[in-house]
Structure 1
Amino acid sequence: MKVLFIGGTGLISQAVSPLAVEQGIELYLFNRGQRGEFVPDGAKVIQGDIRNPAEAAEVLRDYEFDVVVDWIAFTPEHVQTDIDLFTGKTKQYIFISSASAYQKPQRNYIITEETPLENPYWEYSRNKIACEQLLMEAHKNSGFPVTIVRPSHTYGNTAIPAALTSGQHPWTLIDRIRRGLPLVIHGDGTSLWTLTHNSDFAKGFVGLLGHPEAIGEAIHITSDEVLNWNQIYAAIGQAAGVEPKVVHISTDFITAFSPPGTADGLIGDQAVSSVFDNRKIKRLVPDFQAAVPFSEGIKQSIAWFEAHPDQCTVDAEWSALLDHLIEKHGVEAKPLSFYS
């Protein structure tokens, strides 16, 4: 297969791209060439900017692909650009949506692909829903060969996943743990969550490339391991070598005392228990099985950061926000084992 990844070097795709090459796929990455360290040997880079449709159309004018995957489409405008660019030039177009698009709060804690899409709390998720609607309309009206893939909370070596964390400076969480500074866990820490290692996601995803039964379908790909947030933070502390001190604070309180928009992802995603039924991806890709438990995956992440000290940056503003929340809440931090 000849496959184009738009992006292809991000948190999730940096595991998918090398697996695709390993499995014999002729892989092209279309991006701005700013993350060359995550381009696998054997992949071909086409340099350009998908946010400049005229430039992208010119650069890609003479190409056709069996599959096109857009890893960085977030709004209907982005998706419409892809429909215009790739209609008649690919046999499958895969849109990376988000499991946060599922109904919040959902009526049943087990999420299937038939769970309604509705998220009044997070604009990011509403944009993903609008993208899905536009693509499925194009499929219905003109046969545009779309497949929708919904990752949930997926992480890899370059991420330290948590609910309240700095997206740009994830090492800040480990820095606080090792300096004995408390963390904040929303609620009482017993809501359920699913974390998926990007190498596991990659196995399911690569199996969908060129899969005729995936056309016109939406599929989520997650681990079957389900943890509560206390267990997640305990595993992070164990991997960091220090038991975390934590303060449990209600989501409403966190929202009230955080800058506008800061807690949207918490309210619209992590605060709600999410457990996924993965029978659909397993039917389409029978070999798919998530194999990396979080306790091992987070060790790999911390080891990667320690081997890349330039990435161990600290977000002073985010750290100050945690201190502010803890001070306002007025409850003393306790070792996480206290709540076990």
Structure 2
Amino acid sequence: MKVLYIGGTGNISAASSRLAVKSGIDLYLLNRGTGSVKIKGATNIVADHSDKNAVAEAVKGQKWDVVVNWIAFTPEDVKRDFEIFKGHTRQYIFISSASAYQKPGGHPVITESTPLYNPYWQYSRDKIACEDYLTQRFRNDSFPITIVRPSLTYDTVIPVPLCGWKDFTIIERIRHGKEVIIHGDGTSLWTITHSEDFAKGFNGLLGHRQSIGHSFHITSDEIMTWNQIYEWVAEAAGAPLKAVHIPSDFIARFDEHSYGSLIGDKAQSVIFDNSKIKRFVPGFRAVIPFSEGIKRTIRWFEEEPGRIQIDPARGDLVDRIIGAYKQCFG
């Protein structure tokens, strides 16, 4: 099977790339070629994915069994792909986001039929617009789409809202006995998925003819509170947790980015029903618990000192939020 990944070396996609190669897929990676992650066994195509003419020239004359765009965020991105790959691929997979599901939710259990509606986060609305465009191309032009909606998925990032992701500040604060913020009272429910587990479900969709026209989310079945998540982060950091619980809307007053990512996503309780991906990919099961996966992530950061980035401005922001909250309510 001949597969093209646009992107393919990121936090979510690198594990899927490695598994694809291991599974015998003839994998091509199209990106700018400037990243540090290399996928052994994949063929690299260097082009700027935002330059339609450059991509068209780079893949000229090629036919694909599957094209996956890991880094499409706006309707312009997927429209460009449609114009390039229509008639040249048997399946096009768009990586959307589970944050596109209705916020606040109308039902506690999320399935693929849960409405797509997020008035809080532009990122999510853009993903919805991409899905809408591709659905029209499927209905009107028989463009063979499959839509995949990851939720919070990690491997080489620390999956917490403040001072995490590629920023190591959350670990530095915990290890130095500083307070960290947990949004709300910490009892809302959440699911975090390791990229290696995600890859097992995702790669089962590659070339899956019956998945054409369908959408899927692929997540762990492990349901945790944010209090538990932060306790496991602290355990992996090797120090006690000093948590301050602060309402999400209070946090968002100080941090504009948090308005969408908290109010429009992580502040909401989520329970994902993964029965659909399990029907299409029999045997899919997430097996890496967060308590173990986060230890692996921190070890990955510490293997190379250059990966550890501390952002003093983010730490200062946390201190300001905590100080303001205690002044108002302490």
Question: What TM-score do you get using the length of structure 2 for normalisation?
Answer: 0.98
Q: Which residue of 2 aligns with 1:32?
A: 32
Matched residues in 2 for 1:196 and 1:166: separation?
16
User: Secondary structure in 1 aligned to 2:283?
Assistant: coil
How far did 1:113 drift? 0.2
Q: Which residue of 2 aligns with 1:114?
A: 113
How far did 1:59 drift? 1.3
Contact 2:251–2:258, Cα closer than 8 Å, also in 1: no
Tell which deviates more after alignment, 14-23 or 306-315.
306-315
- Superposition pairs of residues 246-285 of structure 1, within 5 angstroms: 246-256=243-253, 258-285=254-281
The residue type equivalent to 2:284 in the other structure is: F
Q: Which residue of 2 aligns with 1:199?
A: 196
| 1:83-109 deviation per Cα after TM superposition (whole angstroms, max 9, x unaligned) | 001000000000000000000011111
The residue type equivalent to 1:134 in the other structure is: Y
Matched residues in 2 for 1:9 and 1:42: separation?
13
The residue type equivalent to 2:324 in the other structure is: K
Q: Does 1:61 align with 2:60?
A: yes
User: Secondary structure in 2 aligned to 1:184?
Assistant: strand
Q: Does 1:238 align with 2:235?
A: yes
User: Secondary structure in 1 aligned to 2:65?
Assistant: strand
The residue type equivalent to 1:126 in the other structure is: R
Contact 1:17–1:39, Cα closer than 8 Å, also in 2: no
How far did 1:259 drift? 3.7
Contact 1:164–1:266, Cα closer than 8 Å, also in 2: no
| 1:187-235 deviation per Cα after TM superposition (whole angstroms, max 9, x unaligned) | 1000000000000000000000000111000000000000000000000
Matched residues in 1 for 2:261 and 2:173: separation?
21
Q: Which residue of 1 aligns with 2:50?
A: 51
Q: Which residue of 2 aligns with 1:328?
A: 324
- Superposition pairs of residues 122-141 of structure 1, within 5 angstroms: 122-141=121-140
User: Secondary structure in 2 aligned to 1:30?
Assistant: strand
Q: Which residue of 2 aligns with 1:164?
A: 162
* Alignment size in residue pairs: 329
Q: Which residue of 1 aligns with 2:288?
A: 292
Matched residues in 2 for 1:81 and 1:149: separation?
19
User: Secondary structure in 2 aligned to 1:65?
Assistant: coil
User: Secondary structure in 1 aligned to 2:44?
Assistant: strand
How far did 1:27 drift? 0.1
User: Secondary structure in 2 aligned to 1:91?
Assistant: coil
Contact 2:184–2:245, Cα closer than 8 Å, also in 1: yes
The residue type equivalent to 2:76 in the other structure is: E
| 1:15-36 deviation per Cα after TM superposition (whole angstroms, max 9, x unaligned) | 000100000000000001112x
Matched residues in 1 for 2:163 and 2:226: separation?
13
Contact 1:205–1:221, Cα closer than 8 Å, also in 2: yes
The residue type equivalent to 1:269 in the other structure is: D
**Percent of aligned pairs with the same residue?**
55
Q: Does 1:16 align with 2:13?
A: no
The residue type equivalent to 1:76 in the other structure is: P
The residue type equivalent to 1:40 in the other structure is: I
Tell which deviates more after alignment, 189-198 or 54-63.
54-63
Matched residues in 2 for 1:243 and 1:275: separation?
28
User: Secondary structure in 2 aligned to 1:329?
Assistant: helix
| 1:19-54 deviation per Cα after TM superposition (whole angstroms, max 9, x unaligned) | 00000000000001112x422211000000111111
Tell which deviates more after alignment, 302-311 or 68-77.
302-311
How far did 1:262 drift? 3.9
User: Secondary structure in 2 aligned to 1:94?
Assistant: strand
How far did 1:166 drift? 4.1
Contact 1:247–1:331, Cα closer than 8 Å, also in 2: no
Matched residues in 2 for 1:249 and 1:316: separation?
21
Q: Which residue of 2 aligns with 1:173?
A: 170
User: Secondary structure in 2 aligned to 1:216?
Assistant: coil
Q: Which residue of 2 aligns with 1:337?
A: none
| 1:273-296 deviation per Cα after TM superposition (whole angstroms, max 9, x unaligned) | 011000000000002000000000
Contact 1:121–1:268, Cα closer than 8 Å, also in 2: yes
Matched residues in 2 for 1:165 and 1:142: separation?
44
| 1:49-101 deviation per Cα after TM superposition (whole angstroms, max 9, x unaligned) | 11111111111112111000000000000000000010000000000000000
Question: What TM-score do you get using the length of structure 1 for normalisation?
Answer: 0.95
Q: Which residue of 2 aligns with 1:304?
A: 300
